[in-house]
Structure 1
């Protein structure tokens, strides 16, 4: 298992750009070959946008790092051709339990309704995800798609003007420079590019620390998320248990603020905590450990001219709630189709301002939820702790108090309410599929709804006539025709029709709803599409 960390996936190789006297110009350069950078590059390459990914590393990330991947990001990965290996390898789960002291106070199901292709969550080590994404890059290269992955390339300087970004890159053979229509910084929470540009985060750093311990062990715990408040093995603090593939278990221990990090990371001290939790009868091997501090922060703007930030480089939240990597994948999902239209000259460059508007909205939603979780998990006063403990006590017997328990509000898809790209709405239809919302999956004849959407604009009709295709100023809109007689279980009607007798949905390339009507109106559809591309 540890061998996966040692094998270079994309070792340094000298490239043609290094032999040029003047910088070579690329359409898009992505900095960072983690999950966010690779997903963005794959998305662009599948749309025939030439992209170069550079990273100073050449291997998968050490340690599990991100492990919880939610339903919406799995649907995004399906569109990119990477969903199946993730789900096949991952540990699927929908259920969670919350404990106070030694008592279970309640349990929950994150996906209680049927009719979805993907589960609420899978657990999968980040190193496997990176492996599968690199495998997908190789597949696209074999198909002749315009994607290149360069390891051992470190960005040491970035400049830009109104037309381009220019990167100076250090390599074992010396430095070279490249230019890009757009440079996308997916270089992590410490983001060297953000530092080079003199930019910073705004937000909160919480006075608390958590120890992550990934252990390999044979255990009979069920495949569920278990969270403890004030357990006997970590009094006055909290703990979390998750199962991963290969009998690897993620265990988080709350440590408090005033700690000696080096002391806490000593194997004998980690072992002491693990034995207190698991008992002396369970044997285990420590695979990876780290200490993190709760941080809920973001950049003021993600779109900085010809340099655009995504993932942890743009925003940070606490790990409880699994909102980090999941939010980063929603960043790429939002950005790729907009870059495609701008690069092809079919949308104004100002369309990228909507990336800022929509994904800052998403980051603020995550920060709000993550901050509330942190305040509940780590009360800031004795009165807050008394209130928190009373809520936990009552939740064991009274269902009405359970929504107040906050062990980490888990990642949900972001709806872009108030987006400048949103068009017409129809009050007869369900709120969950209003403009700005991601499409909700449903079984349809021959498979799943979301497998039949993505990349281009589409016109989904339910029991309504419309042309098979439209051309709106050079942008093709294809029709997806569905009927309620083919909706055997009623999911399509429940999720898309509501009280309407028929429906027409204009769907964006990222599977978000742009506009919807209860009948077809060509002028309204064309107006909504132009609005959705910033024209």
Structure 2
């Protein structure tokens, strides 16, 4: 029981196929109604795919768990119609500060440039996020969210998957043309199909304490190395909604998890940090050990893995839930194209190529952060502390300070879906990169670029262009100056939009190709490539 939150209890309902006793094949079935599974269901629904979402529980996550949500996942949720609620409820921040002992040695700004609709980060307890996602799923006619449905067995077939499901009314079987496993780090689905999950566990433990208090800390991310109130260890502080503050205390590998969770151990640590006169209440306490690892293949035939079921990272850098939401963004449009017969199944193999590449990037960042935060030798500790000492006065040392590189999207620089540039461009909007937002006008009213891109293929043009089509997929034209107006010049600057320039944008709002002038044959060839028709 929490002081600031009451857990909802969602109703179990018997499905029509249980009552009829007839096995039904669904286009997509998702296992796990956490942030990733719920987002996956909403994104599939937004693209016209009827989806069944199964969860063995009947409430949201226990404890606040994930806290930080970055700009790119917020942009994805904005496309799905829920980001404004999350931003309004969450705590917005973009500045992080790093302290060594009792001195500020370094600070950073996650979004130093203006002109983005979504903030750099919000902090919000995971149960609030899930509750909002559940409401959106309940409101969608294409999402069938089934609580108290535990998957006992997964039997992959060449063109479908058979699931054995246990409910309060008994056991039944159902089928899925495609099964998406979003059932977390301890994924039963992964075990059932024998998928390998390799990497490393870190020999350290951290205490999470969510504390209710009114404090004058600013809404920033504060990280201490070797502070006076917790010597030779590290501490992390974040503000969440409802005056709940997340505090992470490094404990060391020898700490007893059961002992460290007891109030008589937790409260003195917090009092040492805040001072004896600051009133607070413990909201939630947990001790965790973390791992950096991923699955061998994100796609195993008709079974596809996303989120923590596919990859785990340490919590430093907020890369877990954020990368899982980006998995959904990458997968849904590809599933839609395959289900509609507009793309070969090989397109789904690029989900593995792109998202495993992103996972490996996240794992590298996460492992480096962990090694900096928890040095494994006396020599590493001396080197780390020397970097922190130098960062106080020497600018060259500050980029070496690593208290968790915060989540940013990984460009798919080697994706087979990209058409390489044939001419020089300035800026970072290379093929394989997610589109940067920009303020625009539509019919004389303020708007944002990403809103106008929507969730299909688009030719963003800075001059005349014509739609191109491959099968049932059309890339429509969004012309700057005709359909949208770049009054501020930000859009033109970010996309190096010289007159005549054209970008092919994918349904997940990633750049697939770009040219200095429109050529219908080149655009159609790039669209075919982006749909996986050129993937071996």
Distance 2:4 2:142 in 1: 30
Q: 1:424 touches 1:528 (CA, 8 Å); kept in 2?
A: no
Q: 1:5 touches 1:62 (CA, 8 Å); kept in 2?
A: no
Distance 1:3 1:178 in 2: 39
Change (3 A) 1:198 1:472: closer
1:472 corresponding residue in structure 2: 470
1:71 corresponding residue in structure 2: 71
Q: 2:160 touches 2:302 (CA, 8 Å); kept in 1?
A: yes
Q: 1:12 touches 1:150 (CA, 8 Å); kept in 2?
A: yes
Distance 2:6 2:173 in 1: 30
Q: 1:20, CA displacement in angstroms?
A: 3.4
Superposed CA deviations along residues 392-441 of structure 1, whole A, max 9, x for unmatched, are: 01111111110000000000012101001111325432341100000001
Stretches of 4+ aligned residues off by more than 4 angstroms: 1-5
Q: 1:5, CA displacement in angstroms?
A: 4.3
Distance 2:197 2:5 in 1: 33
Distance 2:378 2:305 in 1: 39
Q: 1:322 touches 1:410 (CA, 8 Å); kept in 2?
A: yes
Q: 2:138 touches 2:145 (CA, 8 Å); kept in 1?
A: no
Q: 1:3, CA displacement in angstroms?
A: 7.5
Q: 1:201, CA displacement in angstroms?
A: 1.3
Q: 1:350, CA displacement in angstroms?
A: 1.3
Distance 1:245 1:517 in 2: 45
> So what's the TM-score if we normalise by structure 1?
0.96
| Secondary structure at the counterpart of residue 59 of structure 2 | coil
> Which of 231, 237, 240 in structure 2 is aligned with 1:241?
237
Moved more, 15-24 or 285-294: 15-24
Q: Output aligned runs, 1:125-274, within 5 Å.
A: 125-140=125-140, 145-274=141-270
Moved more, 500-509 or 312-321: 500-509
1:284 corresponding residue in structure 2: 280
1:83 corresponding residue in structure 2: 83
Structure 2: 5+ residue stretches without partners: none
Distance 1:532 1:402 in 2: 40
Q: 1:460, CA displacement in angstroms?
A: 0.3
Aligned Cα root-mean-square deviation (Å): 1.4
Q: 1:292, CA displacement in angstroms?
A: 1.4
| Secondary structure at the counterpart of residue 428 of structure 2 | helix
2:505 equivalent to 1:504: no
Q: Output aligned runs, 1:302-341, within 5 Å.
A: 302-341=298-337
Distance 1:505 1:91 in 2: 35
Q: 1:4, CA displacement in angstroms?
A: 4.6
Q: 1:238, CA displacement in angstroms?
A: 0.3
Moved more, 317-326 or 200-209: 200-209
Structure 1: 5+ residue stretches without partners: none
| Secondary structure at the counterpart of residue 477 of structure 1 | strand
2:7 corresponding residue in structure 1: 6
Change (3 A) 1:22 1:2: farther
Distance 1:160 1:198 in 2: 12
Superposed CA deviations along residues 147-192 of structure 1, whole A, max 9, x for unmatched, are: 1000010001001111001111111111011000001000011111
Q: 1:424 touches 1:517 (CA, 8 Å); kept in 2?
A: no
Distance 2:5 2:346 in 1: 42
Distance 1:265 1:69 in 2: 26
2:413 equivalent to 1:414: no
2:54 corresponding residue in structure 1: 54
Q: 1:454 touches 1:508 (CA, 8 Å); kept in 2?
A: no
